[in-house]
Amino acid sequence: MTASNPLYQALFAPLSGQDRPLLWLADGRMITAQDFHALLARLANVLLDQGVAPGDRVAVQVSKSPEALALYAATVSVGAVFLPLNTAYTPVEIDYFLGNATPKLFVVDPETAPALAPVAATHGARLLTLSGAGTGSLADLAAAQAPVFNPVSRMGDDLAAILYTSGTTGRSKGAMLSQENLLSNARVLADLWRFGPSDVLLHALPIFHTHGLFVASNVSLLTGGQMIFLPGFDLEQVIAALPRATTMMGVPTFYTRLLDDPRLTRDLVGHTRLFISGSAPLLAETHTAFEARTGQRILERYGMTETNMNTSNPYDGDRRPGTVGHPLPGVELRIIADGAEVAPGEVGVIEVRGPNVFKGYWQMPEKTREELREDGWFITGDLGTRDADGYVTIVGRAKDLVITGGFNVYPKEVEELLDSLPGVLESAVVGLPHPDFGEAVFAVLAREKGAEVDLAQIRAAVAERLAKFKHPKGYAIVDALPRNTMGKVQKAELRKTYGAEFTAPRG
């Protein structure tokens, strides 16, 4: 097998010498493909001068910018392993990641450098800075470098990135993703979603997460398209950019925020051929409302840190609200309960196998053995069903299953009912400790703007439609559910907030 650098050859080498638009920025600036490649080359030369060798980790906690995207490209081009970190992580959390991954280099924002310098020093990582405006010590070093370089030879099975899981239960785990994991997934998605050189992707996602970095950026780069590269989701910027976009990838909150604005019309999105949603469940109501307003059916898909994308609703065909579609070409999916595959419609744990599945958890061989079978099947921890037509529906996380009085309650079933009731925008159902039942079903209701929630009416509707063991034994009404950066509801936070609801002494 001849050595090369598959990601560089597929995504970045074609940019060299192309005087075409690549990135459009919020301030109106445009970066051409060849200018981006020159930036990539300068950064790659800096990494080589800093002693970064194949297999070394380059940790990055910086704001989204063209320079940050080029740093990802430069890292994999020199054969190193890119390690993006959520910009919300504190120095205490960063201490764990650097201690676990032991990066050669740590790139941070100039404003956070004073707090992070001692952490980097503790773990032997050299510290450089890069701001959201593209300035800092890394940029200064890059300016003195030549805009050409020779990519370092790597194989498809070599590591390209380590992405840490969100760590909602226990310590975060570093998912090891190879060049082939990333490239195979990008190729499948580009083909399935019909991406090509004429596409302009509206990119308002963060690039420390698989959605924005690997799904959005890699697919666009692979197919020679352009990106409207926004620093984040700003409603005014997104509405201004939509008439120029042919595609948009987002999380469900992007779409709910657009729906709250009367400027979202068919005319506004008349140039856009495809809206994609992921990273958190898209409410069927959001899907329906978006179609009614725009004539566009959002395409929902399903992926995770360890696997990139696993399933997708079809480009042509029925995009069914509440489902995540079929397994991607080349990806096997099965639903397991009690050691065997379940029948259509029955609930079990989703397992997947394919070229997209990661190589294991960094420095955690026991966790790897627990979740990645020797024959390549990855136990996702997600509960799901598959209907007779092969559409997969995510019911929830196995760890979120509520076992009350010996009965299993799947939160999504209760949430779907609660979400449909007057005054309720959305809900989250969790299990809380209970002295009699072990766990009790507890519901947190986010009210619609300006609405009142009638709990007596809620309880009556639940009693009419659900078995008694599924009834919430308590409710809380809030203005909004807690979410992480990618829009996922933080049920661990809800369990912490309301954990003593049934066990605390009553006054």
- 6-19+30-155 matches 200-397 in fold: yes
Among 61-75, 344-358, 396-410, 488-502, name the one with the lowest average pLDDT.
Answer: 396-410
Please say whether the dihedral angle defined by the alpha carbons of residues 421, 427, 430 and 436, taken in this order, is positive or negative: negative
What is the pLDDT, as a whole number, of residue 507? 46
Q: 421: how many CB neighbours lie within 10 A of its CB?
A: 16
What is the pLDDT, as a whole number, of residue 410? 81
Residue type, 51: G
Q: Give me the chain's average pLDDT, please.
A: 94
Q: Which 8-state DSSP code applies to residue 422?
A: T
Assess contact for 106 and 47: CB atoms under 8 A.
no
Residue-wise pLDDT tens digits, 363-376? 999 999 999 999 99
Q: Is the pLDDT of residue 169 over 90?
A: no
Domain ranges (residues) in the chain: 6-19+30-155, 200-397, 401-498
96 φ/ψ angles, rounded to the nearest 5 degrees:
-65, -45
Position 170 confidence tier, pLDDT thresholds 50, 70, 90: low
Q: Which 8-state DSSP code applies to residue 467?
A: -
**Which class would CATH give 6-19+30-155?**
alpha beta
CB burial of 80-104 (b: ≥16 within 10 Å; e: otherwise) equals bbbbbbbbebeeebbbebbebbebb
For range 413-420, the mean pLDDT: 92
Q: Is the pLDDT of residue 1 over 70?
A: no
Q: How far apart are CA 500 and CA 164, in angstroms?
A: 30
For range 448-454, the mean pLDDT: 91
* CATH architecture for the domain at 401-498: 2-Layer Sandwich (3.30)
Q: Which 8-state DSSP code applies to residue 244?
A: G
Q: How far apart are CA 473 and CA 433, in angstroms?
A: 11
Residue-wise pLDDT tens digits, 285-300? 889 999 999 999 999 9
Q: Is the pLDDT of residue 485 over 80?
A: no
Q: At the fourth CATH level, which superfamily is domain 200-397?
A: ANL, N-terminal domain (3.40.50.12780)
Q: Is the pLDDT of residue 413 over 70?
A: yes
For range 502-506, the mean pLDDT: 71
Residue-wise pLDDT tens digits, 125-165? 999 999 999 999 999 999 999 999 999 999 999 999 999 98
Residue-wise pLDDT tens digits, 248-275? 999 888 998 999 999 999 999 999 999 9
Among 86-90, 193-197, 348-352, 360-364, name the one with the lowest average pLDDT.
Answer: 86-90
Assess contact for 214 and 184: CB atoms under 8 A.
no
The answer for residues whose C-beta is within 8 angstroms of residue 380's C-beta and 6 or more apart is: 304, 306, 307, 310, 349, 350, 351, 352
